[in-house]
Structure 1
Amino acid sequence: MTLRLPAFEKALRRRVRAEVRKSRVLRRQARRARRRWWLNPAWLAFGYGAFLIGALVTKIAPAGHEFAARMAVVCLWFLGTLATNSAALAATLGDGARNWCLQLLPFGDTEVFRIQWRQHVRSSSWWLLFYAPFAVSLVAPRITDWRLLLAGVGFLLLQALCARAIV
């Protein structure tokens, strides 16, 4: 469970920035870390996996059914990451009735759940930025009318928002 105190976080960020500004070694490390964020193995696996799966589905699908196969991959990819995010949320939810530490807090279970739910929705909504290019890269070669493409992206966005509301 993560509880936030914005004033403390802001003060801590200021203090860390001041320490980084003072130290030449810390500045160099921070610069290296900023440049290297995209080399995270999880992000690389996600990106390469998307293109490899798209290429594989295009080669395996029977002639004339590539579009349906690509849309199926997009839906399966979406549902897989949705299940992963939901499992992460369920693993981090605090149960105040069984955890005595949570009973000592000055707010109830509903407030704790509201905080965790907001964090989950905010963090998982970033996945929408990855679904749209993935769907476009899989589906766009077969679409000649851009209105169909926009309708497909809109459908994907609607599906994502509905799934987030249900979970």
Structure 2
Amino acid sequence: MKKYLMRTGVEPLEYKTPQDLIAKDFVGTNSGNLIYAHGIYRNLIRPDVEIHADNYRINLKEVEKINAEYDGYILALADAIREDFVPQLKQMTEMIRLLKIPVYLIGMGVRAAYGVDAKKLSFPFDNVVKEFVTAVLEKSTIVGLRGHITAQYLSNLGFTEGEDYMVI
């Protein structure tokens, strides 16, 4: 049996009341995060596969346990390339570097202004994104991106389409 840990607030078959959702942000600030994670879950789950939610926790003290108990770590990210998500990217980068299991980044996107010139797109935190993607690629073969603007942004950072990333 394969066992994976996935970055999500709740497992799809786990029942939560509206009060639960108010008390703790299981949807990751918007329901799209939950829907996206559940779509990944639906595509990967089989009788010989278990997928457990990490409840959006990043705890470096749990890395040894994660390495021992799981066959891979699945990251389902939305518009993670944004200034207010930089602290989480840094924490995830640190954790990923300590993991000995494969890491699967499925669907990371950039938050940018409408009509942005993607060829000129850059942020003050470019180095954080580059370190994060590099850490994932050390545990994986390719990352999945949410669109062509994000793809161009990663190209701007020196990553190569088809080799380092693909638009999914």
Band the TM-score falls in, shorter-chain normalisation: under 0.3
Greater Rg by CA: 1
Structure with more helix by fraction: 1
The TM-score, its normalising length taken from structure 1, stands at: 0.27
Structure with more strand by fraction: 2
Greater relative CO, 1 or 2 (CA 8 Å, sep 6+): 1
